[in-house]
Structure 1
Amino acid sequence: MLLPASLEAAILAAIFGLLIGSFLNVVIYRFPKMLERQWAAECADFTGQPAKEEAEPVFNLVAPRSRCPHCGHQIRWYENIPVVSWLALRGRCSQCKARISVRYPVVEVVTAAFFFLCGERWGLGLQAAAWAAFAALLICLFLIDMDTQILPDDLNYTLLWLGLLASAAGWTVPLASAVWGAALGYGVFWLIFQLFKLATGKEGMGYGDFKLLAALGAWLGAPYLVAIILLSSIVGAAIGILLLFVGKLANKDIPMPFGPYLAGAGLLALALSPAAMPALLPFAFPFGAH
């Protein structure tokens, strides 16, 4: 029995999503470390001091090959099959039996789910690829900020420019709405930042948050900004409850980055379907959807 064309496209997209999800795990772990090395080298160059020798002379997204952080065992290709290898190894290193975080297969499955969604909605084409890239970048930003409280400009700007290009190609909102969404997204958070700093003398958020909301505005358009901020508060409440449940917030001084809430809101908007959001959240669209 033949599957419907949309389901076939979705399944193929999901399989590709599993592979991309495996790569996203590499990006999430290595990219912040690459930035730290870059900043250390720039600081050393600025101060005229020699850069410290690194234990690993080459460190990027493709080299060195993945290895166990506990025993240094180099991961073989058949130990790196998305989800399957983690299940086969029962979540442990094949050599030292140290635990492998469940986050690795979770990222792969979540990425596959969003790719499935894009394939089912838009088929196997450039529009689906654009929205799949939107999801992949947000997954990276969500976890990198959760781990390091950093929203890398490289990822934020990539998301922003892809949003503007997708709009110009006619795959998302009208270009004028995308440009205003980017401008207002940055401007709203910049204004809130300045007012909070004026009132308290403290910085309530980072500039990466401004850029991330600008990028979401470029993808979804200016009228969606209120809905995105609303969804981010819902995502934030859900994450806060989850962290309280597992006991991670016992120390109240632990800072909670806002980036994961925004990235989660973008992913939630994609899951709900941007076209369906005005009907689901009518109070967040006082001036209409576009």
Structure 2
Amino acid sequence: MSALVWLDPALAAVVGLLFGSFLNVVIYRLPKMLEAGWQQECAQYLAEQAGQDPATASASTAPRFNLMTPRSRCSACGHTLSWFENIPVASYVVLRGRCRACQAKISPRYPLVELLTAGLFAFCVHRWGLSPQAALWCGFSATLLALALIDWDTTLLPDNLTLPLLWAGLIGALQGWTGVSLDASLWGAVGGYLSLWSIYWAFKLLTGKEGMGYGDFKLYAALGAWFGWPALVPIILMSSVIGALVGIAMKLFSQLREGGYIPFGPFLAGAGFTALIWGAGPMQARLLGLFGL
């Protein structure tokens, strides 16, 4: 009987592996798709200002590039991956982390994302069973993971992901699937956005610099929608603790980027995962105990 208890989470883990493989594509390609779109919009605007036909200016001979096209390929030699080179985790192990064609190293982050997604999906199904709640939290986990890694790589938090995450939290609260009332979810979204927005403008007025981006406001608002307004303080405290620890570690190992800038989104995401696993209330109690409060 005990083995049957783990059957559904095990199946969810398999689905998570497959979805994690797709997340790797999203993490790599979505920022490039956004940049291409921005370049096209700039070309259209410049054409309009010059009195030219914007449709002609935006015409491109570049091959199609989206989440489905072209097929995955080696970034070093351009080798198109066969289906057996795209099996989550297993292909990486069999190929020993190298391209079959040119033997270039493959980043271990690819299988790690797949394994992490599998673990998150298994956790959600173990906690909520095969239910709409589990599916919703699986979607939350996958989106948050993608946002964290995109922000880490590019300092972008795309609206394509933050806004659907925000709306999904509100709809989940409306349906009673997140365990948060609609009022708490709505005010969590409002409070999350306005708090970081206020800090952003206060910092900019005092220093003349931008301390964070608008994507951080939207991500914090989304977390407020999912966990409710009482979770805002523990989430921001936890994200600050995680950020401080990562920043100290990067400083010690001389891994800080030029200018010492570290995106805040991954730390908000880390706090979101902490709230998902342990709950915002227990997380706040642990943090207050850590600071002796």
Matched, 1:59 2:58: no
TM-superposed CA distance for 1:53, in Å, is 4.0
User: 1:4: Cα distance to partner?
Assistant: 3.6
Deviates more, 1:257-266 or 1:218-227: 257-266
- Residue of structure 1 in register with 2:219 after alignment: 212
TM superposition shift of 1:210: 0.5
Report matched runs for 1:190-229 at 5 Å.
190-229=197-236
Tell me what 1:163 maps to.
169
Q: Secondary structure at the match of 1:151?
A: coil
Paired residue total: 281
Letter aligned with residue 43 of structure 1: C
Matching residue's letter, 1:15: V
2:47 pairs with 1:31: no
1:247 equivalent among 247, 254, 275: 254
Letter in 2 for 1:3: A
Matched residues in 1 for 2:268 and 2:139: separation?
Answer: 16
Query: How far does residue 17 in structure 1 lie from its aligned partner after superposition?
Result: 0.5
Does the aligned pair in 1 maintain the 2:169–2:185 contact within 8 Å? Answer: yes
Give the distance between the partners of 1:245 and 1:101, measured in 2 at CA. 23
- Offset of 1:124 from its aligned partner? 1.3
TM-score normalised according to structure 1 size: 0.92
C-alpha change, 1:52 and 1:239, in structure 2 (3 Å) is farther
| SS of residue paired to 2:81 | coil
Please tell me whether the aligned partners of residues 235 and 280 of structure 2 are also in contact (alpha carbons under 8 angstroms).
no
TM-score, scaled to structure 2: 0.91
**2:171 is aligned with what amino acid?**
L
Unaligned runs of 5+ in 2: 48-53
Distance 2:154 2:26 in 1: 13
Partner residue of 2:243 out of 217, 236, 239: 236
- Per-residue deviation, 1:241: 3.5
Give the aligned partner of residue 133 of structure 1: 139
SS in 2 for 1:97: coil
- Tell me, yes or no, if structure 1 residue 258 matches structure 2 residue 253: no
Q: How does 1:165-184 map to 2 (within 5 A)?
A: 165-172=171-178, 173-184=180-191
Q: Secondary structure at the match of 2:79?
A: coil
Structure with bigger helix share is: 2
Once the two structures are superposed, residues 97-123 of structure 1 have per-residue CA deviations (whole angstroms, 9 ceiling, x without a partner) of 000000000101111111111011001
- Relative to structure 2, which stretch is displaced further, 31-40 or 232-241? 232-241
Distance 1:255 1:279, change over 3 A: closer
Residue 168 of structure 1: how far off its partner (Å) = 0.6
SS of 2:3 mapped into structure 1: coil
CA apart distance, 1:125? 1.4
The Cα of 1:8 is off from its aligned counterpart by 1.4
> What amino acid maps onto 1:136 in structure 2?
A
Letter in 1 for 2:164: T
- Pairing 1:8-47 to 2, within 5 Å after superposition: 8-47=7-46
CA contact (8 A) 2:231 2:281 kept: no
Conserved? CA contact 2:234–2:287, under 8 Å? yes
What residue is the counterpart of 2:151 in the other structure? 145
- Deviation digits for residues 162-208 of structure 1, max 9, x if unmatched? 00011111011000000000000001011111111111111111111
2:19 and 2:114 in contact (8 A); partners too: yes
Deviation at 1:2, TM superposition (A): 5.7
Q: Secondary structure at the match of 1:3?
A: helix
Gaps of 5+ in 1: 285-290
Q: Does 1:70 pair with 2:69?
A: no
After superposition, the C-alpha distances for 1:112-143 in whole angstroms (9 at most, x for unaligned) are 11111101100111100111111111111101
One-letter code aligned to 2:266: P
